Structure 1
């Protein structure tokens, strides 16, 4: 079976690179082909990389709290690019301040994200969800 391809990066004006590299390592070790677009990445970079690599998943990381703003409209842009079935994952410190997690989760689900992870989520959790969602 071919390796599933993931586009991974840190969205918006966020420059937190350490967690991104840890995710890349853990996901690669779990058997995924990881295309890491790095930090300070606009939505278009994720989408272009996904189109170019025929990716199965876009994984968005954000730690500076503005992920909600940076992620708005991403599902729609994916559809415009022909990525109708791509899985969208997002995680990290994706909102500013201490907000009710259930409400944050619901807002990102309403934006079209398939998986929404709070700060501190383990790589093992993401790998398990990827395997479920990708049927591997």
Structure 2
């Protein structure tokens, strides 16, 4: 099934006690500019708030941000909460996910084991996450979005 970007809703927020707002502000602007309907939950968002918003907005994706290094604790059981509410959405997490995050492969594996479909570090360009989401949701560019090839 090929989906149109404009009908795709993403729920975005900073999980747990983290109060870093700059990253999600950038992500909100980038995903909105890319044609997604973005529901920004802000900072210090609980797992339950993510799930409630995903249900209320029939979200296609849940994007979790964390910059203070304690995401592993904040995300324990997160996908159980989503599942218990019937949320069937792609889930991404990104940021500075672990204190002293020096072994990125191990950090990525940790969050994949927690149930996240994709894991991004704090240096990831928003365009990379947008491209990944378009792939994961099988979104194809519309005629007007396709690059023009001149002869």
TM-score range, shorter chain: over 0.9
* Matching residue of 1:96: 99
Q: How many residues align?
A: 135
Who wins on radius of gyration, i.e. which is larger?
Answer: 2
Structure 1 distance, partners of 2:131, 2:101, is 27
Query: Which residue does the alignment assign to 2:133?
Result: 130
Instruction: For 2:126 and 2:45, locate their aligned partners in 1 and report how far apart those are by CA, in whole Å.
Output: 21
Matched, 1:20 2:21: no
Q: Calculate the aligned-residue CA RMSD, in Å.
A: 0.9
Q: TM-score, normalised by structure 1?
A: 0.96
Offset of 1:86 from its aligned partner? 1.1
Q: CA deviation at 1:99?
A: 3.2
Shift of 1:27: 0.4
Q: Distance in 1 between matches of 2:48 and 2:79?
A: 11
Which consecutive segments of 4 or more residues in structure 1 shift more than 4 A? none
* TM-score using structure 2 length: 0.87
Q: Deviations for 1:50-99, whole angstroms, at most 9, x for unmatched residues?
A: 0000001000000000111101111111111111x311100000111133
What is the rounded CA distance, in whole Å, between the counterparts of 2:108 and 2:24 in structure 1? 21
Q: How does 1:20-99 map to 2 (within 5 A)?
A: 20-83=24-87, 85-99=88-102
Q: Between Structure 1 and Structure 2, which shows a larger proportion of strand residues? A: 1
Once residues 124 and 7 of structure 2 are traced to their aligned partners in structure 1, the CA distance between those partners, rounded to angstroms, is 23
